[in-house]
Amino acid sequence: MGSIIKRIAILGSTGSIGRQTLDVVRSFPDRFRVVGLAAGRNTDLLRRQLAEFQPKLVSLATEAELLAGDYQLLTLEEIASHPEVDLVVVATSGKAGLPPTLSAIRAGKSIALANKEVLVMAGEIVTTEAERHRAQILPLDSEHSAIWQCLRGEEGRKIARLILTASGGPFRNRPPVELDSVDIEEALKHPTWQMGRKVTIDSATLMNKGMEVIEAHWLFGVPFGNIEVVIHPESIVHSFVEFIDGSVKAQLSPPDMHLPIQYALCYPERLPNRRLPRLDFPKIGTLTFEAPDLEKFPCLKLALEAGQRGGTYPAVLAAADEIAVELFLSHRIGFPDIAKVVENTLNHHQGISHPTLEDILAADLWARECAAGLVSRGNSWQ
């Protein structure tokens, strides 16, 4: 069978998802060609990636000397919409992923999306534009990949419920009163997944899962009332879809991001890869499920509420959370304060319905200032 080579640009190539995307590309040298790489500050790793993959299109956030080579230095948006790119992997973190994602959509590219903020901040605009330009958004998150796999061959309007699984993070069994005193190292120890620092803290607060519910709402067009979260500490079942007849499908695999990345990159094909780990059910023995504790993990509740309110609220949620996590990681606030900063910022926000991109970016800036201001003004916000 002849295979078509997909030309890939990876935005955020030196981060966790970017590096694992390059692992997948290495597994299939006949399937993919890396034509663009973009990174933030990790210049050393980017240099090595340029030497190995020889892309023609490069973007770097900081001014730094790169290897001499036959490439063009471009902006993220220019790479994302470049005619020689078929698939854009958006593996940046934060709002930086939003403009290049919209560029890629308007150029009709396929987008493999790992950046949470894109859909959390601008889900309505992004999905509307993607429909208009027939650009396909392929989720890279394990939960959304699971739902997407369960929906193969099914009609979206036959969905009764989406049930996103959550590991519960490192503090699942910790008594609520002890959360006041947890330190950064504990919060960064995720029980099942190896990820970046920001998303690991978001997993510990369950903010990450709340954002994933918002993403699922936009990706699959399912109302918030029909999306649930269930705690599943083993991280083997990556999510469930219940159909209108009561039948439920699940996607399962060992917790390894290479699989959802490979699935999105190869889609609609499934390709063999013996390097990916396999499930052994008798060895696994037990899969457990429990309801999330919204009192103990208020970030999840805040995210679900912000999603339901819509408009600029999810952008404010994401921005306030980013500031709050930074403050926690720099020892400025305690773990439970993350939720308090986000809640207070949301309470101060005057939302806009059906916002433009400018409205969203303004709400983002406002929320950052508000969240930082709350903390710098002292304890009155707690």
Residues contributing to the site for a copy of itself (CB under 8 A): 149-150, 152-155, 158, 160, 163, 230-232, 237, 240, 242-254, 259, 262-263, 266, 270-273, 276-279, 281-282, 284-291
- For the CB of residue 204, give the shortest distance to a copy of itself in the complex, in Å: 21
Q: Among candidates 80, 70, 132, which has minimal Cα distance to 102?
A: 80
Which of 282, 378 has the CB closer to a copy of itself?
A: 282
Closest distance of CB 284 from a copy of itself, Å: 6
Question: What is the three-class DSSP state of 345?
Answer: helix
- Helices marked H in 37-97 — which ranges? 43-53, 76-80
For a copy of itself, the closer of residues 122 and 261 by Cβ is: 261
**What six digits make up the tokens of 54?**
């020889």
User: Nearest Cα to 100, choosing from 37, 186, 177, 15?
Assistant: 37
Least Cβ distance, residue 1 to a copy of itself (angstroms):
11
- How far, in Å, CA of 60 to CA of 210, rounded? 31
* Closest distance of CB 15 from a copy of itself, Å: 23
Q: Which is nearer to a copy of itself, 263 or 335 (CB)?
A: 263
- Give the list of residues 6+ apart from residue 93 with CB closer than 8 angstroms, or none: 12, 15, 115, 117, 196, 198, 199
Round to whole Å and give the CA distance between 355 and 360: 6
For the CB of residue 268, give the shortest distance to a copy of itself in the complex, in Å: 9
Dihedral angle, C-alpha 141, 4, 59, 264, nearest 10 °: 0
- Integer Cα distance of 33 and 22 in angstroms: 10
CB contact at 8 A, 311 and 353: yes
Nearest distance in Å: CB 378, a copy of itself: 40
CB of 273 to a copy of itself, least distance (A): 6
Question: Taking the complex as a whole, how short is the minimal distance between the CB of residue 210 and a copy of itself, in angstroms?
Answer: 18
For residue 280, CA distances in Å to 142, 166, 189 come to: 19, 21, 25
Give the nearer residue to a copy of itself in terms of CB position, either 48 or 270.
270
CB of 168 to a copy of itself, least distance (A): 12
C-beta closer to a copy of itself: residue 51 or 279: 279
Residue closer to a copy of itself (CB basis): 149 or 200: 149
Q: Give the residue with the Cβ less far from a copy of itself, 49 or 142.
A: 142
From residue 112, alpha-carbon distances to 92, 100, 177, 333 in Å are 11, 12, 40, 34
Q: In degrees rounded to 5, what are phi and psi of residue 73?
A: -90, 120
Question: Which helix H or strand E contains 36, and what residues bound it?
Answer: strand 32-39
Q: Which is nearer to a copy of itself, 194 or 273 (CB)?
A: 273
Contact 230, 166 (CB under 8 A): yes
Query: Toward a copy of itself, which CB reaches closer, 297 or 313?
Result: 297
